[in-house]
């Protein structure tokens, strides 16, 4: 079944309380897919997930898990019990950890009656520069090559996809094939401010380059007219 443009836009709930999150959800009733990240989850707990499910929204639980295989598997199994749709884990957990997480998550989803979430790898945080990679993390690969290797490790470990920057999406789509789910933040319509996001692509360019889902925050949430901004992006994607 093909996904409509509006279902490809994931809006982050980048707020620190459940009340603020619910206010945002109610301000944007057309949004079907919401991202819950560390700030909201740590400050307000898991109840926001139940709230989103009761409103029949899709959930991207972006907690970027990173730990030993046993712990990561337990965390992914627990996340599957909320019925979330996408879930993130660092590719640097390694193959054993990724495989263990994937199978524990699948078992837990089967037991709880929800479809299994798609487990999505973080290849490299976009805040890590080429300089940091080389001189602090001591990784002797060029940044795009490293990000690609981590995505391939995730794919080889049975994960559903990866988060990637607009710069990497075309190459990852070409290398990892059509079934690998690519989630792309750092997306900006031409009429929106880039803010702290660098080397952005427009929503339509990111989809054309191969992204499946676009994480778009401030161009919508910080707009004077959030609903209008969301609709304008949907229209641009449909056009
Ligand atoms: O407001 P903006 O569109 O920049 O929000 C992007 C969202 O995507 C934020 O929640 C941010 O934490 C997240 N994100 C990102 N870059 C990544 C991974 C996630 O900007 N590599």
State the pLDDT at residue 137.
Answer: 96
**Cα 35 to middle of ligand 1, angstroms:** 10
pLDDT tens figures, 90-126: 999 999 999 999 999 999 999 999 999 999 999 998 8
Please state the domain count of the chain: 1
Helix 94-112 with 69-80: angle, nearest 10 deg: 30
- CB of 10 shorter than 6 A to ligand 1: no
Reply yes or no on whether the pLDDT at 154 is more than 90: yes
Catalytic residue among 53, 57, 64, 95: 64
**Cα 12 to middle of ligand 1, angstroms:** 8
State the pLDDT at residue 155.
Answer: 98
Confidence category of residue 50, pLDDT binned at 50, 70, 90? very high
Q: Output the CA angle 221-24-18, nearest 5 degrees.
A: 125
State the pLDDT at residue 114.
Answer: 93
Domain of residue 100, residue span: 5-238
User: DSSP H helical segments within 28-159, as ranges?
Assistant: 38-44, 47-54, 69-80, 94-112, 130-135, 143-156
Reply yes or no on whether the pLDDT at 239 is more than 90: no
| DSSP assigned state of 190 | T
Confidence category of residue 1, pLDDT binned at 50, 70, 90? low
Characterize the bridge pairing of strands 58-65 and 213-215. Answer: unpaired
State the pLDDT at residue 214.
Answer: 98
Instruction: Kindly report the CATH number assigned to the domain that includes residue 106.
Output: 3.20.20.70
Q: In b/e form, how buried is each residue of 187-215, taking b as 16+ CB within 10 angstroms?
A: bbbeebeeeebeebbbbbbbbebbbbbbb
């Amino acid at each position: 079944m093909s996904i409509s443009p509006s279902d490809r836009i994931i809006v982050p709930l980048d707020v620190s309380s459940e009340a603020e999150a619910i206010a945002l959800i109610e301000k944007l009733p057309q949004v079907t897919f919401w991202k819950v990240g560390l700030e909201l989850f740590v400050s307000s707990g898991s109840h926001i997930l139940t709230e989103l499910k009761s409103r029949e929204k899709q959930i991207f639980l972006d907690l970027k898990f990173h730990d030993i295989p046993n712990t990561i598997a337990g965390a992914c199994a627990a996340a599957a019990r909320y019925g979330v749709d996408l879930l993130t884990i660092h590719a640097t957990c390694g193959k054993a950890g990724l495989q263990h997480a994937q199978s524990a998550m699948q078992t837990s989803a089967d037991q709880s009656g929800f479809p299994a979430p798609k487990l999505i790898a973080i290849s490299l945080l976009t805040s890590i520069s080429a300089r940091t990679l080389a001189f602090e993390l001591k990784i002797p690969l060029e940044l795009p090559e490293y990000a690609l290797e981590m995505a391939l490790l995730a794919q080889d470990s049975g994960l559903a996809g990866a988060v990637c920057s607009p710069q990497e999406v075309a190459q990852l789509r070409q290398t990892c094939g059509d079934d690998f789910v690519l989630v792309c933040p750092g997306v900006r319509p031409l009429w929106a401010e880039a803010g702290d996001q660098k080397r952005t692509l427009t929503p339509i360019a990111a989809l054309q380059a191969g992204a499946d889902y676009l994480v778009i925050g401030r161009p919508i949430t910080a707009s004077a007219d959030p609903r209008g901004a969301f609709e304008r992006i949907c229209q641009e994607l449909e056009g």
